[in-house]
């Protein structure tokens, strides 16, 4: 038993007998090729009026690319993850850290001497 189907089954919105002519002409395009340091080649299409970027990210390895095949940009330097302590150490010297620690310990000892509960 065949079920009743839809009359527009298999077609997409905007598709008609005329195709692209109904929607107008496409913008003139240019093909630009970018090269990365690993030797990957990436071709991208831009509108002729569009400004072509100087750099592009390689979709294969993520390195930056340029349009100069003989001189691709070098890989970017990846900064290692820094902990909060590493950032604090950049801002404070060892003597400043010792002074701050001693000040905090004095406050803690004073609270204990008053009988406060410290968690």
Per-residue pLDDT reduced to its tens digit, 41-70: 999 999 999 999 998 999 999 899 999 989
Examine the pLDDT at 32 and tell me if it is beyond 90: yes
Which comes out higher in pLDDT, residue 23 or 94?
Answer: 94
Has 66 been labeled as part of a binding site? no
Which tens digit of pLDDT belongs to each residue from 79-88? 888 999 888 8
Has 26 been labeled as part of a binding site? no
Has 61 been labeled as part of a binding site? yes
Residue 34: pLDDT band (50, 70, 90) is very high
Q: What is the rounded CA–CA span in Å between residue 9 and residue 54?
A: 44
Q: What is the rounded CA–CA span in Å between residue 30 and residue 118?
A: 70
Tokens of 47: 């509108």
Has 101 been labeled as part of a binding site? no
Examine the pLDDT at 19 and tell me if it is beyond 70: no
pTM above 0.75, yes or no: no
Examine the pLDDT at 13 and tell me if it is beyond 80: no
pLDDT of residue 88: 86
Q: What is the mean pLDDT of the chain?
A: 84
The residues, any chain, with a CB within 8 Å of residue 98's CB and separated by 6 or more, are none
Examine the pLDDT at 27 and tell me if it is beyond 80: yes
Tokens 């400043």 sit on residue:
96
Tokens 């030797």 sit on residue:
39
């Amino acid at each position: 038993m065949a079920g009743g189907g839809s009359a527009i089954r298999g077609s997409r919105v905007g598709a008609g007998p005329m195709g692209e002519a109904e929607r107008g002409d496409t913008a003139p395009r240019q093909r630009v090729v970018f090269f990365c340091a690993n030797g990957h080649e990436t071709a991208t299409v831009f509108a002729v009026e569009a400004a072509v970027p100087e750099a592009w990210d390689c979709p294969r390895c993520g390195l930056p690319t340029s349009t100069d095949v003989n001189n691709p940009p070098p890989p970017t330097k990846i900064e290692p993850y820094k902990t909060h302590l590493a950032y604090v150490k950049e801002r404070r010297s060892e003597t400043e850290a010792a002074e701050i620690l001693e000040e905090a310990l004095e406050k803690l000892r004073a609270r204990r001497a008053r009988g406060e509960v410290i968690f």
